Amino acid sequence: MSALYEIVPNISEGRDAGVVDACVGAVGAAGARVIDRTSDETHHRSVITAVGTRAAVLDASVALAGAAAGRIDLRRHRGAHPRIGALDVLPFVALKDATLEDAASLAREAGARIWETHRIPSYFYGAAASAEHRRLLADVRRGEFEGLTARIQDPGWKPDVGDGAHASAGAIAIGARPILIAFNIELESGDLGLALELARRLRERTGGLRTLRALGLRRGEIVQLSFNITDVEATPIYRIVELVRSLAGERGVALRRSELIGLVPRRALQRTAAYYRGDDDS
């Protein structure tokens, strides 16, 4: 049996369905199986989930980079979510008969092929990172597209592949990681300061939950907490929900709704369902 991988590319387009359709089509036509897609107009961003063999996800990544670059111009792009590229993030995940290092090797090969084919530079993050200060996606993306050209002049932040930002497509953060859960909670509030405060209190790097990444974002008239759970065993979904409920409740704010983006391990859903049923979640 061939090894199986997942890619979860994020593109900087969430409003033009035709552009998203073309990008999704490029992934499928290259041989990967698209199993989920989600678009958000406020974030101006879409997330595609696809699976396939090593060759299939590699070809799909190169094809998607070209499709996105040909249709998305970041010089005219404005959205709530931080981004450095038209194809902004491209993580590789080993699903079957493959290791995290296999996924990292695949990420590096994708960066090289995308540069050769489309002249779009890449930064490697996560398990594919070339240096410790590039390991976290938030650090790679700091300054966003608008600050990319100036940042590349810093010797510590030259791209891992390529020698300058693409004029309209920017750069791509390409990484390798274990399976994670992308999870959002909306608050019954338009107070962005509150969302930023809660994200700061909850994320790992500022003293919160182990393995949790968190952003506070505006979404129309309300605000949202956007989470990446990078260790699905260490941090249950229900724990995040109840902490947000408690912290927001201290300010008199209720939760509005929550949503999952892409695939979620069954075990994670079972644990949260067991918690709310009052069962043992072990």
Contacts with 74 (C-beta within 8 Å, 6 or more apart), sequence order: 12, 83, 85, 86, 145, 168, 169, 170
Sign of CA dihedral 22, 23, 24, 29: positive
Q: Tokens at residue 114, please?
A: 């995308």
Of 44, 81, 118, 166, which residue is the catalytic one? 81
**Please, are residues 40 and 46 in contact by the beta-carbon 8 Å criterion?**
yes
**Please, are residues 73 and 111 in contact by the beta-carbon 8 Å criterion?**
no
Active site residue 118: no
Q: Give the gyration radius of the chain's Cα atoms.
A: 18
Q: Tokens at residue 218, please?
A: 């505006």
**Please, are residues 121 and 171 in contact by the beta-carbon 8 Å criterion?**
yes
Q: Whole-angstrom Cα distance, residue 258 to residue 221?
A: 16
Per DSSP, which regions of the chain are E strands? Answer: 4-7, 10-11, 33-40, 45-52, 87-96, 122-126, 172-176, 181-187, 212-219, 222-229, 255-261
The values of phi and psi at residue 107, to 5°, are -60, -45
45-52/172-176 β-pairing: unpaired
| DSSP state, residue 185 | E
Over 76-100, what HEC string results? HCCCCCCCCECEEEEEEEEEECCCH
Question: Vertex 189, ends 41 and 185: CA angle to 5°?
Answer: 60
Residues with active-site annotation: 81
